[in-house]
Structure 1
Amino acid sequence: MGKTERYLARVDGRILRALSHPLRVEILELLREDGPATASGLAKRVGESSGTTSWHLRQLAESGLIAEDTERGSRRDRWWKAVHEGDQMSAADFLDDPDLAGPLNAYAHTMIERRYAAESQFVAEVRDWADDWIDKVNFHDSSLPLTPGEAAALSDEILEVISRYRRPEKDGDTPVRVHWAAFPRKTRPETP
């Protein structure tokens, strides 16, 4: 098993169905970024009842994305933890299955909304970051003329670079959110 496979969940139909609900995506994100939590603690953070978060936690556990943290809590106070740091998905894996068209669309839109929310939160808190961070933040947007093969090669290279930086957390680290997407867009030139 390669380094990336240990850290990323390969999204299959079962996982895609689990991630097709925005609240489950948010809960999973909180467990991945902030560590283990209880249903009641998550409920307060997401503005839902603990019964609702418990149900969604069970759905995430059934899909293999989270597991009970047996080193914490008790029978009455169950703690949950994320199994992987992130997800990796190829939309091509689901295009031939009409039953997954809805979950794929819901998941993709939720992920875009979560990325926007994370970047917006950073912008809102930009003054809170120390001088040693503020000039290291990078938002990049490019339009490149590429073939499908070149776009795939570019993505593979970027993901290899990200993989090289994966390591256990150590003192002095700050969590850094990394987003990567490469996708085609239709041109809409102005016509005379």
Structure 2
Amino acid sequence: MDEPKKPSGPQGAQDPLIHSLDARSLRGLAHPLRMRLLNELRHEGPATASQLASKLGESSGATSYHLRQLAAHGFVEDAPERGKGRERWWKSVHGGVSFDGGLLEDQDPEVRGAADLFLHEVANHHTRELATWLGTRHEWSEEWNRSSDMSDWTLDLTPGQALELIGEMHELVGRYRASALGDGAAPGAERVRVHTHVIPTRTDRTDPTDPTNPSD
């Protein structure tokens, strides 16, 4: 899902393809079906409510309603070049959205709830994408199977170092993205999804220099 968490500092520079979520637009997007609809339009291109309903296992009434809500908040718009007769086609307005962690601390509890739902749905989407890859990898070439990656590392970092790491990872991915946009997709290129997670975890370790720790 193209919803990077926007770090503070120099990495927060705005990409014209990315829409920065504010409190109002977050409330309009933070719904599981709306986020799935938006992802389908971004990744697969314009579609009708009926097509999206069939793909996602929803009713066309539900997809039509949530597409209109997405349109009201500026995430999707009509694709008249695809329309035939009364058939209404929709397309994504932006290439992705940027989430500011400050929304989790908003004074409005509705905004905080929407922010929490949004992040959980992003995590769910990442899980679905990984499960899809594992379930279909036999359909891909040996070369692509060798070129996939599911790695994780454990590091001891300060918050500042973690933020620096996030910024450098985003910068690296951004270079590949800019190259593809500028020169066009290379022969043999496929759509690739890159997930990054930097999260602190609790440990049972104690600090021997902490005077509050009991000594043996």
- TM-score after normalising by structure 1: 0.90
Let me know the Cα RMSD of the aligned residues: 2.1
How far apart are residue 50 of structure 1 and its match? 1.1
Instruction: Please list, as runs of the form range in 1=range in 2, the aligned pairs for 1:52-131 lying within 5 A after superposition.
Output: 52-74=62-84, 76-97=86-107, 98-131=109-142
Structure 2 residue 39 is the aligned partner of structure 1 residue 29? yes
The AA in structure 2 aligned to 1:13 is A
Q: Distance in 2 between matches of 1:32 and 1:99?
A: 27
Structure 2 gap ranges (5+): 1-11, 207-216
Match of 2:6 in 1: none
Structure 2 residue 195 is the aligned partner of structure 1 residue 179? yes
Asked if 2 retains the 8 angstrom alpha-carbon contact of 1:13 and 1:94, the reply is: no
Match of 2:48 in 1: 38
The AA in structure 2 aligned to 1:5 is D
Structure 1 gap ranges (5+): none
How far apart are residue 152 of structure 1 and its match? 0.9
Q: Distance in 2 between matches of 1:96 and 1:89?
A: 13
SS in 2 for 1:125: helix
SS in 2 for 1:9: strand
Structure with the greater alpha carbon radius of gyration = 2
Provide the aligned length of Structure 1 versus Structure 2: 190
Match of 2:3 in 1: none
Q: Distance in 2 between matches of 1:90 and 1:144?
A: 24
Asked if 1 retains the 8 angstrom alpha-carbon contact of 2:105 and 2:112, the reply is: yes
- TM-score after normalising by structure 2: 0.81
Q: Distance in 2 between matches of 1:3 and 1:184?
A: 25
The AA in structure 2 aligned to 1:175 is R
How far apart are residue 3 of structure 1 and its match? 8.7
Identity %, equivalent residues:
38
